[in-house]
A and B are shown apart, each in its own frame.
Chain A
Amino acid sequence: MDCSLVRTLVHRYCAGEENCVDSRTIYVGHREPPPGAEAYIPQRHPDNRIVSSKYTFWNFIPKNLFEQFRRIANFYFLIIFLVQLIIDTPTSPVTSGLPLFFVITVTAIKQGYEDWLRHKADNAMNQCPVHFIQHGKLVRKQSRKLRVGDIVMVKEDETFPCDLIFLSSSRGDGTCHVTTASLDGESSHKTHYAVQDTKGFHTEEDIDGLHATIECEQPQPDLYKFVGRINVYSDRNDPVVRPLGSENLLLRGATLKNTEKIFGVAIYTGMETKMALNYQSKSQKRSAVEKSMNVFLIVYLCILVSKALINTILKYVWQSEPFRDEPWYNHKTESERQRNLITLARPEGNAKCQIFVVLVMGRGNHAGLSQFLRAFTDFLAFMVLFNYIIPVSMYVTVEMQKFLGSYFITWDEDMFDEDTGEGPLVNTSDLNEELGQVEYVFTDKTGTLTENNMEFKECCIEGHVYVPHAVCNGQVLPNASGIDMIDSSPGAGAREREELFFRALCLCHTIQVKDDDDVDGPRKSPDSGKSCVYISSSPDEVALVEGIQRLGFTYLRLKENYMEILNRENGVERFELLEILSFDSVRRRMSVIVRSATGEIYLFCKGADSSIFPRVIEGKVDQIRSRVERNAVEGLRTLCVAYKRLIPEEYEGVCTLLQAAKVALQDREKKLAEAYEQIEKDLILLGATAVEDRLQEKAADTIEALQKAGIKVWVLTGDKMETAAATCYACKLFRRNTQLLELTTKKIEEQSLHDVLFELSKTVLRHSGSLTRDNFSGLSADMQDHGLIIDGAALSLIMKPREDGSCGNYRELFLEICRNCSAVLCCRMAPLQKAQIVKLIKLSKEHPITLAIGDGANDVSMILEAHVGIGVIGKEGRQAARNSDYAIPKFKHLKKMLLVHGHLYYIRISELVQYFFYKNVCFIFPQFLYQFFCGFSQQTLYDTAYLTLYNISFTSLPILLYSLMEQHVSIDTLRRDPSLYRDIAKNALLRWRVFIYWTFLGVFDALVFFFGAYFMFENTTVTSNGQIMTTNTHMIFGNWTFGTLVFTVMVFTVTLKLALDTHYWTWINHFVIWGSLLFYVVFSLLWGGIIWPFLSYQRMYFVFIQMLSSGPAWLVIILLITVSLLPDVLKKVLCRQLWPSATEKVQSTRVHGQSRLPELTLLACRRSSSPWATWPGPHAKQEPLSWPPLSSLPHSHSVPVPHGGTTGGQAISPDL
Chain B
Amino acid sequence: MTKMKKTSQICQSKLPDNTALKQQQLPAYRLQLSATGVLSGFFATGAFCLGVGIILILSAKSIKEIEIKYTKICANCAELREDAINFDKECTCSIPFYLSETMQGNVYLYYKLYGFYQNLYRYILSRSNSQLVGTDLKDVGNCAPFSKSHNGTPIAPCGAIANSIFNDTIILSYNLNSSIHMEVPMLRSGITWWTDKYVKFRNPSAINLSSAFTGTAKPPYWSKPVYELDLEDTENNGFLNDDFIVWMRTAAFPTFKKLYRRLNRVQYFIEGLPAGNYSFNITYNFPVTRFKGEKSVVLSTLTWSGGSSLFLGLTYTVTGAVTWLAAFSMMAIHLMLKEKRTLFIQR
Contact = CB atoms under 8 A, between A and B. Distances in A.
Interface of A: 90, 323-324, 327-334, 349, 407-408, 410-413, 416, 418, 421-423, 904, 933-935, 937-939, 965, 967, 970-971, 1012, 1014-1023, 1025-1026, 1028-1039, 1041-1043, 1060, 1062-1069, 1091, 1096-1098, 1101-1102, 1106, 1111-1112, 1115-1116, 1119, 1122-1123, 1126, 1129-1130, 1132-1134, 1136-1138, 1147-1148, 1150-1152, 1216
A1022 B306 contact: yes
B145 A331 contact: yes
Given A411-B23, A939-B119, A1101-B200, A1030 B306 contact: no
Interface in B1-31: 7, 10-11, 14-18, 22-31
B312 A349 contact: no
Contacts of B253: 933, 1014, 1017-1018, 1039, 1042
A333 B160 CA distance: 11
Interface bin, chain B: 35 or more
Contact of B123 (A330, A1017, A1033): A330
B16 A1042 contact: no
A637 B292 CA distance: 95
Contacts of B345: 1216
A1032 B26 CA distance: 52
A1138 B333 contact: yes
B146 interface: yes
B16 A1039 contact: no
B312 A1039 contact: no
A1036 B120 contact: no
Contacts of B268: none
Interface stretch (B149-157, B269-277, B315-323): B315-323
Nearest to A1034: B302
A1019 B300 CA distance: 13
B231 interface: no
A904 B25 CA distance: 13
Given A1025-B304, A1136-B33, A90 B290 contact: no
Given A349-B144, A1133-B33, A1133-B38, A1037 B337 contact: no
B164 interface: yes
B11 to A, nearest CB: 4
B193 A1115 contact: no
B319 to A, nearest CB: 6
Contacts of B256: 1036
Given A1020-B309, A1036-B246, A1112-B306, 5 more contacts: A329-B163, A333-B144, A1029-B198, A1034-B259, A1069-B28
B124 A939 contact: yes
Contacts of B250: 1038-1039
A421 B10 contact: yes
B251 interface: yes
B266 to A, nearest CB: 16
Contacts of A1133: 33, 38, 330
Interface in B283-311: 287, 290-292, 300, 302, 304-309, 311
Nearest to B289: A323
A652 B141 CA distance: 102
Contacts of A1096: 129, 141
A1029 B194 contact: yes
Given A965-B26, A1014-B253, A1015-B311, A413 B194 contact: no
A1031 B194 contact: yes
B180 interface: no
29 contacts: A329-B164, A330-B117, A330-B122, A333-B144, A334-B144, A416-B15, A933-B252, A933-B254, A934-B119, A1018-B253, A1019-B311, A1023-B259, A1023-B306, A1029-B195, A1034-B259, A1035-B246, A1035-B259, A1036-B246, A1036-B257, A1038-B249, A1038-B251, A1039-B118, A1039-B253, A1064-B28, A1064-B30, A1091-B199, A1115-B316, A1126-B45, A1126-B322
B141 to A, nearest CB: 8
A1151 B28 contact: no
B262 A1033 contact: yes
Contacts of B35: 1137
A1101 B195 contact: yes
Interface in B30-49: 30-35, 38, 45, 49
Nearest to A1025: B304
The 8 closest A-B pairs by CB, nearest first: A1021-B307, A329-B164, A1019-B309, A1029-B194, A421-B11, A1042-B252, A411-B22, A1039-B252
Nearest to B20: A1066
A1041 to B, nearest CB: 7
Contacts of A421: 7, 10-11, 14-15
A596 B300 CA distance: 121
Contact of B312 (A333, A422, A1016, A1098): A1016
A1137 B26 contact: no
B170 interface: no
A1065 B253 CA distance: 42
B31 to A, nearest CB: 5
Contacts of A418: 15
A965 to B, nearest CB: 7
B29 to A, nearest CB: 4
Contacts of A1134: 330, 333
